[in-house]
Amino acid sequence: MTLRLVTIPISHYCEKARWALERAGLAFVEDGHVPLWHWRAAFAVKGTRTVPILVHEAGAETDSTDILHYVDARTAPEARLFPEDPAQRAEVEQWEERFDRSLGPHSRRWAYFHLLPDRDLALATVAQGAPKAEAVLTRALFPLYAALLRRGLNITPQKSMESLTKLHKLFAEVSEVLADGRPYLCAGRFTAADLTFASLAAPALLPDHHPGFVVPWERVPAAMRTEVEKLRATPAGQFVLRMYAEERGKKA
């Protein structure tokens, strides 16, 4: 059976799962949807509303971390995203959990806050890799659509500022860890910690080589661009850009 990854192609949690699958060389088809319209597909598969969902021979995984574990079970031990060594594994898991809980929601809210006011840019962004009918429907209902997203993700000027502050704090912490010159966050090699940090930071850094979230630089709103440049200039930001340049296309 061919694996099916139900996604919102621009979603950074979906990118996390897609990166792991591609790195392991596991063949899959991506079933991509515009945010909110993904509900129908997600609900049909597993009675849930969040993606990514990986549909496989024995059922479905409904969380990006579970998808990474599914992938690891099919990867040679030395290339797994979660190392065998218990201490290293615990460190990787701690980072991954932290990024999932904090980085993911804040980078998403902050990016949407800047993209949603520009209707055409927002439409082009959310429709990437999704069926045409969903893009048409989104365009027709855009004011309502944007209001639903703002409400669902609590996107306000105040909350967006708070998210940016949290992003800077987390980036400062990661920069400090990288200050000793280590090439990866922990375990001395590429792990789920690096993959999760890079994929979940992507909406705030807009790295090249990203297969699902492409915003042409000249279309990025000026206020967002200034902040992206500041985040990119940090050691943590540079690290993410390097992970995309060096690791995103690599096979395990």
Ligand X SMILES: N[C@@H](CCC(=O)N[C@@H](CS)C(=O)NCC(=O)O)C(=O)O
What residues make contact with ligand X under the rule CB under 6 A? Answer: 8, 11, 13, 49-52, 63-65, 100, 108
Per the listing, tokens 């998403």 go with 108
With respect to ligand X, which residue has the nearer C-beta, 100 or 162? 100
Strand order in the sheet with 59-61: 28-32, 3-7, 53-56, 59-61
The Cα 151–Cα 87 span in angstroms is: 41
Contacts of 20 (CB under 8 A, 6+ apart): 67, 68, 71, 81, 192, 195
* Shortest spacing between CB 232 and ligand X, in angstroms: 22
* Shortest spacing between CB 7 and ligand X, in angstroms: 9
With respect to ligand X, which residue has the nearer C-beta, 23 or 33? 33
Nearest partner of 9 among 131, 121, 113, 115, judged by Cα: 131
> Phi and psi at residue 5, in whole multiples of 5°?
-110, 110
With respect to ligand X, which residue has the nearer C-beta, 94 or 226? 94
With respect to ligand X, which residue has the nearer C-beta, 202 or 220? 202
* Shortest spacing between CB 101 and ligand X, in angstroms: 8
* Shortest spacing between CB 104 and ligand X, in angstroms: 7
